[in-house]
Structure 1
Amino acid sequence: MAAAAAAALRLPAAAAASLLLLFFCLLACPGSARAARFACNATAPRASTCQALLSYAPPNGTATATLAAVRALFQLRSHRALLAANGLPLSTPPTAPAPVPLRVRLPCLCSGGAGATFQRPTYRVRAGDTLDAIARGVFAGLVTYQDIAAANNVSDPNKVAVGQQLWIPVPCSCDPVGGQPVVHLTYVVPPGSSVAAIAQEFGTTDETILAVNKMPDAKALLAGQVLDVPLRACGSTISTTAIDRNLLVPNGSYILTANNCVMCGCSSSTWQLDCQPTQGLSSSFCPTAKCGDMFLGNTSSTSSCESRTCSYAGYTNSTSFAILANITTSDVCSAGVSPTAQPAHSSAFRMEPAWFRWTELIVSLHVVLLCLGYLHQD
Structure 2
Amino acid sequence: MGYAKVFLGVLLVTALAATSTAQTKLKCSKAGATCTALIDYVSPNNTNVTTIQSLFQVENFQNLLGANNFPTSTPSDKDVTAKKKIRIPFTCLCDNGTGVSNHKPVYTVQEGDTLDHIARDVFSGLVTYQQIADVNGLPDPNNITRGQELWIPLPCSCDEVNGAKVVHYGMVVDAGSTVEVIAKQYGTTQATLLRLNNMTDPSKLQAGQVLDIPLPACSSNVNSSSLDYPFLLANGTYVYTAYNCVKCKCDSANNYTLQCEPSGLKSTNSDWTTCPAMQCQGADGLFIGNKTSSGCNQTSCVYSGFTSKSILTSLVTESICPAPSAAWKIGFQGLGWNFFLFISIQLILFLSLHLS
TM range (shorter): 0.7 to 0.9
Residue 131 (str. 1) matches residue 115 (str. 2): yes
Pick aligned residue for 2:77 from 86, 95, 98: 95
Corresponding residue for residue 298 of structure 1? 290
Partners of 1:266 and 1:274 within 8 A in 2: yes
Rg (Cα) greater in structure? 2
**1:84 Cα shift?**
2.1
**CA-to-partner distance for each residue in 1:103-130, whole Å, 9 max, x for gaps?**
1111111111111111111222223322
TM-aligned CA distance change 1:169 to 1:302, over 3 Å: same
Query: Quick one: structure 1 residues 154 and 269, their matched pair in 2 at CA, closer, same or farther if it must change by over 3 Å?
Result: same
Long gaps (5+) in structure 2: 1-18, 324-356
Aligned pairs, how many?
295
CA distance in 1 between partners of 2:290 and 2:71 (Å): 21
How far 1:159 moved relative to its partner? 4.4
Q: Deviations over 1:51-82 (max 9, x none)?
A: 211111113xx12x211100110112221221
Distance, in Å, in 2 between the alignment partners of 1:127 and 1:307 is 62
CA distance, structure 2, for counterparts of residue 264 and residue 124 of structure 1 = 34
Q: Deviations over 1:121-174 (max 9, x none)?
A: 122222332222211211111111121122223344344323322211111111
Given that residues 170 and 212 in structure 2 are in contact (C-alpha distance below 8 angstroms), is that contact kept between their aligned partners in structure 1? yes
Q: How does 1:359-370 map to 2 (within 5 A)?
A: none
Contact 2:100-2:155 at 8 Å conserved across structures: yes
1:67 corresponds to which of 26, 49, 71: 49
Give the alignment's TM-score, normalised by structure 1: 0.72
Change (3 A) 1:156 1:224: farther
Please give the alpha-carbon distance, in whole angstroms, between the structure 2 residues aligned to 1:295 and 1:288.
8
Give the counterpart letter for 1:77 in structure 2.
E
Equivalents in 1 of 2:317, 2:61: separation in Å?
32
- Residues 332 and 219 of structure 1: is their aligned pair in 2 closer, same or farther, counting only changes over 3 Å? farther
Is the Cα contact below 8 Å between 1:33 and 1:224 reproduced in 2? no
Q: Which moved more, 1:91-100 or 1:207-216?
A: 91-100
Supply the AA of the counterpart residue of 1:273. Answer: L
Cα distance in 1, alignment partners of residues 142 and 172 from structure 2? 24
Deviation digits for residues 197-255 of structure 1, max 9, x if unmatched?
A: 22233332222111111211311212222222111101112234333331000111112
Q: Secondary structure at the match of 2:74?
A: coil
Residues 1:287 and 1:206: Cα distance change in structure 2 (over 3 Å): same
Contact persistence 2:23–2:128 (CA under 8 A): yes
Paired amino acid for 1:289 = M
- Going from structure 1 to structure 2, the CA distance change for 1:332 and 1:151 (only over 3 Å counts) comes to farther
The TM-score, its normalising length taken from structure 2, stands at 0.76
- Partner residue of 1:220? 204
1:279 maps to: 264
Give the letter aligned to residue 73 of structure 1.
L
The answer as to whether partners of 2:297 and 2:317 remain within 8 angstroms in 1 is: no
Per the alignment, residue 307 of structure 1 pairs with: 298
1:235 matches 2:223: no
For structure 1, the residue ranges without an aligned partner over 5 or more in a row are: 1-30, 335-378
Alpha-carbon deviation of 1:330? 4.5
In 1, distance between residues paired with 2:319 and 2:230?
23
Alpha-carbon distance in structure 2 between the residues aligned to 1:210 and 1:114? 17
SS in 2 for 1:308: strand
Are the aligned partners of 1:266 and 1:273 in contact in 2 as well (CA < 8 Å)?
yes
Call closer, same or farther: CA 1:205–1:296 in 2, change over 3 Å.
Answer: same
CA distance in 2, matches of 1:212, 1:53: 15
Runs (4+) of structure 1 exceeding 6 A deviation are none
Choose 267-276 or 90-99, whichever is displaced more.
90-99
The answer to whether the Cα contact below 8 Å between 1:300 and 1:308 also exists between their aligned partners in 2 is: yes
Return the letter of the residue paired with 1:250: A
Shift, 1:329, TM fit: 1.8
1:91 to partner: Cα distance: 2.5
What residue is the counterpart of 1:170 in the other structure?
154
- Distance of 1:322 and 1:147 partners within structure 2: 40
Contact 1:310 1:328 in 2 (8 A): no
Distance 1:284 1:161, change over 3 A: closer
Is the contact between residue 35 and residue 146 of structure 1 (CA under 8 Å) also seen in structure 2? no
What is the CA RMSD across the aligned residues, in angstroms? 2.4
CA offsets per residue over residues 315-337 of structure 1, 9 Å max, x none?
234xx323323133253747xxx
Which of these residues, 29, 34, 42, is aligned with residue 22 of structure 2? 34
Paired AA for residue 57 in structure 2: Q
